[in-house]
Structure 1
Amino acid sequence: MATNVQVTIVGSSNVDITALMDRLPGPGETVLADSYRLTPGGKGANQALAAALAGARTEFIGAVGNDSHAEIALGQLAEAGVKLDRVAHTDGATGVAIISVDAQAENSIAVISGANATMDAPAVNAAGELSGILVLQGEIPASGIRAAFDAAREQVVLNLAPVIELDREYLVRANPLVANEHEAALILRQLEGSAELSTDPEPVIARRLCAQGLSSVVVTLGGEGCLVASLDGDGKVDVTRIPARKVEAVDTTGAGDAFTGALAARLAHGDPLVEAADFAGRFAALTVQHHGAQASYPRSLENL
């Protein structure tokens, strides 16, 4: 059982195989890469590391395989003091993400779930109580996400990435829902039951998400910062735009996860959502100046 935990992340843990190249290949095209790296990743593990480095007592609950990748997947979490007692070690392979990064810091990612696919409702239920602010993503089965929502004791930060089908009753319990602009449109289509993907500006999409029952939404906009939408005391939606810190990006891999983990850490410390999102944006900006996901996360907050 978790004790004295401020943030609990239930989610995925991968090993990232990252190829660095001048440009990303087109369909059917082979491009020579300059180099590759083998590093820990996975949205859940990334967010857990970010939360811990942002100052929260953090626990990660997930699954790894019985292969040599398992130690790599959990190594930086252990170094940062993330609680790992309830990580399952299963038969089979640890999850793997195959990442291509070009000279403009754009990336494409393919994920092989491996052990993450075992994080279904029975596995999450077996973990027991989930303390502190709960953070969830879309890289484990939907039944595991639902079970984690049901076991939550405090607010739930949902970063539904990738966007998977999830019951409305769970989607609207997110507080906040965190999504990039494309994911936000996909989630809105899911909530509204629409056949079309909205092309509305991001502030309008954020307002429409709140109109569907969400009490707060954070839409991340990469180098343009983020939007925070939340209901005020009169039931009206306030939208605040938070600009990004201007930096020279070399690799955006894991930046969204850094944002979400840091956001949860500041919420756990009692920051209002807008202040937490501003901190998270500054935290994430530090990560895009270096290659890799977890390896790029700041080990000191002095430069924030």
Structure 2
Amino acid sequence: MKTAARSDVIVLGGLTMDLTYFVKQWPKVNEAVQASSYELCPGGKGFNQATAVKRSGGIVNFIGSIGNDNFSKQIIGNLKKEGINADGIINYKDIRTDLIGIIVDPSGTPGFIGIRQSTYQLTPNIIETKISLIKNAKVLLVNSEVRLETVIQALTIAKTSGLITVYNPAPPEKLPENIYKLIDYFTPNIWEARMISGMNNASASELATHFKNKGTGTALITTGRDGCVVASDRGLKSYMAFPINEVDETGAGDTFCGYFAYHLSKKEPLEECIRIASAAGALACTKVGGRSAPTASELKGFLAKNKGRLL
């Protein structure tokens, strides 16, 4: 039997093809809008997060599933190009690879429409066959692209195996009460946090406190240009965002999570993990597409220019 490769971070999430349209305005009902340009490339929150881990300097393994089509071949090729271990990826012959449509307006704000077919094939039973991959990692980074019961199974295995667990609950859905005790770091954006909690008008501080009280180790609510708010055992604290000229914020959250998870695996202080992840997320907004994570050297240069800046 092949020995599972060791990693800094094991990512469980989606592998998709992303079709991104750049438009001057959002289409209204029955209106046809011409895009100024488009991109077709592999993506998915899982792929984007794994790419961020790898570009940050980490060793990353991936658990995911794809179909049997030209899209799946492009995805595997891009995984190899990024240096992401694909041993945990399952190819289903009778299923199509997931496709996501993205519309980006001039402000860089994206909207999404998609279908999950291949990703939904990942069941708790499948995760049981990937236990060695999970146990050989330092951090589990998982999102809600996969089935909720699969998320819970992965978090349970990781938690009992001594891993740090990071859960990015996107796309958002109502969560069972028993999931929170399995989460060391809970990282929704403010819109996702409001959807999950039902607190539609709550502030980031109120939401962070709410999820901390639910049982998560640390609740970290990202708010885009306004930075993030963190509720931990040390209390509540706000962090400013890095100022940038934003082009497309599609992959910013995934980049934040990937860099955050990797630096957690290095056992760096929480504030340093947030500083680095915030800078990486900001840089991602200056590029087009979901897999817009900067390299470690690009981030180093950006941080050097912002050396005197405090969070």
Alignment partner of 1:146 is 2:152 = yes
Q: How does 1:235-246 map to 2 (within 5 A)?
A: 238-246=235-243
Residue identity opposite 2:165 in structure 1: V
SS in 2 for 1:266: helix
Alignment partner of 1:63 is 2:61 = no
Q: Which residue of 2 aligns with 1:162?
A: 171
SS in 1 for 2:61: strand
Q: What TM-score do you get using the length of structure 1 for normalisation?
A: 0.91
Q: Which residue of 2 aligns with 1:96?
A: 99
Picking from 140, 143, 148, the partner of 1:137 is 143
* Unpaired stretches in structure 1, ≥5 consecutive residues: 190-196, 233-237
Segment of structure 1 superposing worse, 201-210 or 38-47: 201-210
SS in 2 for 1:6: strand
Tell me the percent identity: 29
* Whole-angstrom CA distance in 1 between matches of 2:74 and 2:209: 41
Residue identity opposite 1:182 in structure 2: W
Residue identity opposite 2:256 in structure 1: F
CA-CA distance at 1:200 after TM superposition: 2.5
SS in 2 for 1:245: coil
Alignment partner of 1:181 is 2:190 = yes
Residue identity opposite 1:125 in structure 2: E
Segment of structure 1 superposing worse, 161-170 or 30-39: 161-170
Alignment partner of 1:272 is 2:269 = yes
* Whole-angstrom CA distance in 1 between matches of 2:156 and 2:207: 27
SS in 2 for 1:86: strand
Q: How does 1:171-250 map to 2 (within 5 A)?
A: 171-189=180-198, 197-232=199-234, 238-250=235-247
SS in 2 for 1:53: helix
1:238-278 C-alpha deviation (Å, 9 max, x unpaired): 12211111111111111110111110011001112222111
Picking from 281, 290, 297, the partner of 2:293 is 297
Residues 47 and 257 in structure 1, CA contact (< 8 A), matched pair in contact too: yes
Alignment partner of 1:114 is 2:117 = yes
Picking from 118, 125, 128, the partner of 1:125 is 128
CA-CA distance at 1:199 after TM superposition: 1.6
SS in 2 for 1:132: strand
Residues 49 and 76 in structure 1, CA contact (< 8 A), matched pair in contact too: no
Residue identity opposite 1:12 in structure 2: G
* Whole-angstrom CA distance in 2 between matches of 1:245 and 1:59: 29
Residues 217 and 233 in structure 2, CA contact (< 8 A), matched pair in contact too: yes
Residues 228 and 277 in structure 1, CA contact (< 8 A), matched pair in contact too: no
Alpha-carbon RMSD: 1.5
Residue identity opposite 2:110 in structure 1: N
* Whole-angstrom CA distance in 2 between matches of 1:291 and 1:220: 20
CA-CA distance at 1:29 after TM superposition: 2.6
* Whole-angstrom CA distance in 2 between matches of 1:246 and 1:41: 26
CA-CA distance at 1:57 after TM superposition: 0.9
Residues 264 and 270 in structure 2, CA contact (< 8 A), matched pair in contact too: yes
CA-CA distance at 1:128 after TM superposition: 2.3
SS in 1 for 2:75: helix
Residue identity opposite 2:8 in structure 1: Q
1:96-140 C-alpha deviation (Å, 9 max, x unpaired): 110011111111101211210101112211222302200110111
CA-CA distance at 1:198 after TM superposition: 4.0
1:185-213 C-alpha deviation (Å, 9 max, x unpaired): 22333xxxxxxx34222112211221222
* Unpaired stretches in structure 2, ≥5 consecutive residues: 304-311
Residue identity opposite 2:226 in structure 1: E
The 1:71–1:146 alpha-carbon spacing in structure 2 relative to 1, beyond 3 Å, is: same
The 1:242–1:77 alpha-carbon spacing in structure 2 relative to 1, beyond 3 Å, is: farther
* Whole-angstrom CA distance in 2 between matches of 1:45 and 1:102: 23
Residues 229 and 237 in structure 2, CA contact (< 8 A), matched pair in contact too: yes
1:33-60 C-alpha deviation (Å, 9 max, x unpaired): 1121111110111111101111211111
Q: What TM-score do you get using the length of structure 2 for normalisation?
A: 0.89
Residues 98 and 114 in structure 2, CA contact (< 8 A), matched pair in contact too: yes
